[in-house]
Amino acid sequence: MAATRRVLRYVPGGRPGRGPWVAAVCSAFFYLYAGVLVARLSAWIDLFRSPAPDGVGGAVAAAAGLVLFYAAAVYPGIVDERASGKVFADRSRRFRAHKPAVVGLVVFLFFLGVSLLAPLIAPYDPSVQTDPAVERYQSPSASHLFGTDKFGRDILSRVIFGARVSLGVGVSAVLLATLLGTLVGAASGYAGGRVDDAAMRVVDGLLAFPRLLLLLTLVAFFANSIWLVVAVLALTGWMGFARLIRAEVLVLKESDFVQAAVAGGVGRGRIVWRHLIPNTLGTVVVAATLRFAMLILLESYLSFLGLGVQPPTPSWGGMVFDGREVLVAAWWVSAFPGLAIVGAVVACNLVGDGLRDALDVRMG
């Protein structure tokens, strides 16, 4: 299939002609990852819940997570890269010229790597409580770089594991929201007329609804689970995408190549799927990256309010909450998870800005 070759040329660093074996190996990995991702979605999600994931399943799922990011962030580059190597090189150069974006990407990849490899790099078990009399509220030191909390747990280890919740919830929610928003937006924009009007009024209505309130209500009503948080975040977050994609589709559907396709006898579904959606991918990726940052923040709010992930599973928002009573005496309890939130959010936003410039996407 065409997709194979697109990936092939990207993986060897955007430089064509590195030899077919590199390409073959890379594409094999891509499909392996993609397959695993589908097959092991549940295992991957389990990662966020249990601090110690089950051996193989966890590792496999971790790899799948990497692919997700790879596929989402790099796909538009791949498409054009196959064209000549020039376009991708050009976009890549434009991205790299945007220094803050490169810093953001490095920080983001660092966070991602940390979250995926948490069991390997965390110095302590994040949820095991030690002797409170000895270990409680220790300030940062060589043995506990970020100090300890009131149960004597290592803050560094908890921040590392907390990255799983924050990034995992963010990724899942943003993927669901993007998917839903893109489909609704594309269908609505292409159908036009009354269908479009109806869909957009629904979007308006949902946008008018106070999101946090809805979240709080739902989480309070139903059994608290990470899935509920993901679902609610996704279901309240797709409208922005829908509007964005609809606007894009409204322009694209008048374009000559769409008219040419219709004149060639291509059906409606295929027009949307093959001709409209692929041409909006740049916008989708940029919007998703920026939205991702927002979702990390939202998840932190929820955890801070005690409605996110339940203890003892560490989450950044929950940890900030834990430290609020001892902010003066033991600032490290809140400060480090707080810094992690800031770091991840800023990094995402920088990457989003860089991608926007590199892919030439106009955002509303």
Q: Which stretch binds other proteins (CB under 8 A): 79-87, 151-159, 164-172, 202-210?
A: 79-87
- By CB under 8 A, which span of 130-138, 270-278, 333-341, 343-351 interacts with other proteins? 270-278
Choose the stretch contacting other proteins; rule: CB under 8 A; options: 13-21, 48-56, 91-99, 278-286.
278-286
* Stretch 167-196 residues interacting with other proteins (CB under 8 A): 193
Among 17, 267, 269, 306, binds other proteins (CB under 8 A): 267
- Please name the amino acid found at residue 215: L
The nearest distance, CB 32 to other proteins, in angstroms, is: 23
Task: Measure the CA–CA gap between 279 and 62, rounded to whole angstroms.
Answer: 30
Residue given tokens 């989708």 in the structure block: 284
Count of residues binding other proteins (CB under 8 A)? Answer: 25
How far apart are CB 256 and other proteins at their closest, in Å?
Answer: 4
Identify which range of 27-35, 46-54, 155-163, 277-285 contacts other proteins by CB under 8 A.
Answer: 277-285
Residue pair 108/102 in contact by the 8 Å Cβ criterion: no
Nearest Cα neighbor of 127 from 50, 53, 225, 54 is 50
Rule CB under 8 A: say whether 265 interacts with other proteins: yes
Cβ atoms 56, 89 nearer than 8 A:
no
Residue 14 CA, chain-centre distance (Å), reads 23
Single residue of 80, 196, 248, 299 touching other proteins by CB under 8 A? 80
The answer to whether 136 and 332 are in contact (CB under 8 A) is: no
| Options 26, 89, 102, 261; binder of other proteins; rule CB under 8 A | 261
Which position among 266, 326, 339, 346 is part of the footprint of other proteins (CB under 8 A)? 266
Q: By the 8 A CB rule, do 149 and 333 touch?
A: yes
CA distance 235 to 219: 13
SS3 148: strand
Q: How far is the CB of 282 from other proteins (least distance, A)?
A: 10
> Which among 293, 298, 304, 309 has a CA at the least distance from the CA of 233?
298
Residue 273 CB, nearest distance to other proteins (Å)?
Answer: 12
247 binds other proteins (CB under 8 A): no
- Please tell me whether residue 2 binds other proteins under the rule CB under 8 A: yes
Residues 75 and 271: their CA atoms lie apart, in Å, by 20
Task: Answer whether 127's CB lies under 8 Å from 149's CB.
Answer: no
**Can you tell me which of 50, 84, 143, 217 binds other proteins, judged by CB under 8 A?**
84
**Contact predicate 276/190, CB 8 Å:** yes
Q: Which of 227, 231, 344 is nearest to 289 (CA)?
A: 344
Of the pair 84, 143, the CB lying nearest other proteins is at 84
Contacts of 11 (CB under 8 A, 6+ apart): 22, 23, 26, 27, 30
Q: How far apart are CA 93 and CA 96, in angstroms?
A: 5
| Residue nearer to other proteins on the CB measure, 24 or 41 | 24
Q: Which stretch binds other proteins (CB under 8 A): 199-207, 217-225, 250-258, 299-307?
A: 250-258
Question: Of residues 21, 194, 256, 328, which one binds other proteins by CB under 8 A?
Answer: 256
Would you say 217 or 259 has its CB closer to other proteins?
A: 259
Where along the sequence are the contacts to other proteins (CB under 8 A)?
2, 79-80, 82-84, 87, 193, 255-257, 259-267, 274-275, 278-279, 281
